Amino acid sequence: MRLLAYKYALDPTPRQARYIAGHCAAARRAFNWGLGRVKANLDQRAAERTYGIPEELLTPRLNWSLYTLRKDWNQAKNDEAPWWAEYSKESYSSGLDALARALKNWGASRTGKRNGARVGFPRFKSKRRAVQSCRFTTGTIRCEQRHAVLPRIGRVKLHEHPAKLLDALREGSARIICATIRFERGRWFVSFTVEQSLPELTPTRPDAAVGVDLGIKTLATISEGPPVENPRHYIQAQQKLARLSRRVSRRRGPDRRTGQAASKRWQRANAQRNRVHHRVADQRRDAIHKLTTRLASTYATVVVEDLNVTGMLSNRKLARHIADAGFGDFRRQLEYKAERFGGRVIVADRWFPSSKTCSGCGTVKAKLLLSERDYVCNTCDLIMDRDKNAARNLAALAVAASSAETQNGRGADQKTRITGQVAEKRQPGTASTGKTRTPLPEGAGV
């Protein structure tokens, strides 16, 4: 059994859209209420400490578990939000759940129980900037031929036919756990979280390994076959975007300092510009999904480089191209798709000289300029496209990884290191393997 998400765009009526937004606002209200209480309590205790009050006499610490937060909210809601009955109780629950998790993460991070980057104290959700979202876990949640059915909100038209989900539900292999509504890229989406038993799949070439070199000029160079061209939709749309941006800037936009409201003409132009942005993002996501599916369904082993995405994004010249290619998302997708096919993804060490090594004789060059597009070996006279050479070196790592494994007889769930070059992640069912490595920044590719 696996948890999957089926996400569909919604076509709500204007009235429904307002009601859905209301649910998200209700979630935000509960979140901010709870956060305010926790914050006041912590501040109170901090102040008391400065007066030298002993620890055991301080105002007791608030319990911020979801259970307690919900109980307290139910006592306070008549005063805090007299309109609470207008919306599903799930919306308040969803906001408080987000708060409970945020506080838990903050606490765990502060005491060193949580890996990864430091988690800050939760902040109040602003009406303008917060993502509008709300999750339903109980009540009537269904997916029908053309509609999503949600508690209180009722039947909302789906933008597309949910064929795959309906098939799985009809077969009885899937069960809907919860539904989340979210406003993204100018429209409403519903995401059904589904528990589903999936058939065992095998890659079409179970013995083959492939090296993938992610690039800027091309989306990816594969150690065998032609390179995968970059869907440079963003760049193609640049001119269009620049034109639309000029149009936006010529019109009277909102100014919060002076309280000037945006003009109707500005709003129209801004909406046009946003549409281009969204379209580009959708096309990019599509291209990356197709590539990762193809790789995972074909090869048993895929070797990729461990790119320091955050580091590269701070380099402004490269930044746009890298973000465009969606590197971060690429690896995340590859890993979960490989797991489905029983394959594995090997992540080469960040310092593995994939570009500087000759794939013919193994000589490592001391220096290779970024402008040298072809790799020319002085030892064996090999001349090859730079990226192709790198991809081949990565593919060779797969062989090194599996032979080292048979030599020392280590189990599949172990992390293998070959002369400090490979950090291996082996699927399936080894949730613990990858966790020791630096996590990829969430959404780095978007």
According to the binding rule CB under 5 A, does residue 236 interact with Zn ion?
Answer: no
Q: Is 361 in the site for Zn ion (CB under 5 A)?
A: yes
Closest contact distance (angstroms) between CB of 378 and Zn ion is 8
Whichever of 115 and 363 has its CB closer to Zn ion, that residue is: 363
Q: Which of 107, 253, 360, 441 binds Zn ion (CB under 5 A)?
A: 360
In the set 213, 306, 329, 339, the catalytic residue is 213
Q: How far is the CB of 411 from Zn ion (least distance, A)?
A: 36
Residue closer to Zn ion by CB (options 213, 324) is 213
- Known active-site residue 329: no
Chain length of the chain: 446
**# residues contacting Zn ion (CB under 5 A):** 8
Q: Minimum Å distance from CB 385 to Zn ion?
A: 14
**Helix (H/G/I), strand (E/B), else coil: 166:** helix
Given 90, 97, 305, 324, which residue is catalytic? 305
Kindly identify the residues of this chain, within the stretch 376-405, that bind Zn ion according to CB under 5 A: 377, 379-380, 382
* 305 catalytic per annotation: yes
Catalytic residue among 90, 97, 349, 387: 387
The CA-CA-CA angle for residues 350, 355, 360, to 5°, reads 125
- Enter the DSSP assignment of 357: B
Identity of the residue, 260 or 363, whose beta carbon is nearer to Zn ion in the bound complex = 363
Handedness of CA 125, 130, 132, 136 (dihedral sign): negative
Binding-residue pattern over the window 315 to 354 for Zn ion, x denoting contact by CB under 5 A: ----------------------------------------
CB neighbourhood size of 48 (10 A): 15
Backbone angles phi, psi at 150, to 5 degrees: -125, 150
* Among the listed residues 169, 280, 288, 358, the single contact to Zn ion using CB under 5 A: 358
Q: Applying CB under 5 A, does 24 fall inside the site for Zn ion?
A: no
Among 205, 191, 444, 218, which Cα is nearest to 341's? 205
Q: How far apart are CA 423 and CA 404, in angstroms?
A: 12
Which string of DSSP letters, residue by residue, matches 108-162?
A: HHHTT-S-SSPPPPP-PPPTTTS--EEEE-SS--EE-SSEEEETTTEEEEBSS--
CA–CA dist 430, 375 (Å, integer): 38
Restricting to residues 186-215, name those near Zn ion by CB under 5 A.
Answer: none
Closer to Zn ion by CB, 152 or 356: give it: 356
Using the contact rule CB under 5 A, the part of the chain among 319-327, 349-357, 374-382, 403-411 near Zn ion is 374-382
The torsion angles phi and psi of 97, rounded to 5 degrees, stand at -65, -45
What is the closest distance, in whole angstroms, from the C-beta atom of residue 395 to Zn ion in the complex?
A: 16
Eight-class DSSP state of 173: S
Give catalytic status of residue 144 as yes or no: no
By beta-carbon proximity to Zn ion, the closer residue of 347 and 377 is 377
In angstroms, the CA 101 to CA 119 distance is 11
DSSP E strands in 266-403: the ranges are 299-305, 344-348, 374-376, 383-385
* Least CB distance to Zn ion at residue 359 (A): 8
For residue 399, the minimal CB distance to Zn ion (Å) is: 18
The continuous run of DSSP H or E covering 36 comes out as: helix 14-50
The residues carrying an active-site annotation are 213, 305, 387
- Which residues of the chain form contacts with Zn ion (CB under 5 A)? 358, 360-361, 363, 377, 379-380, 382
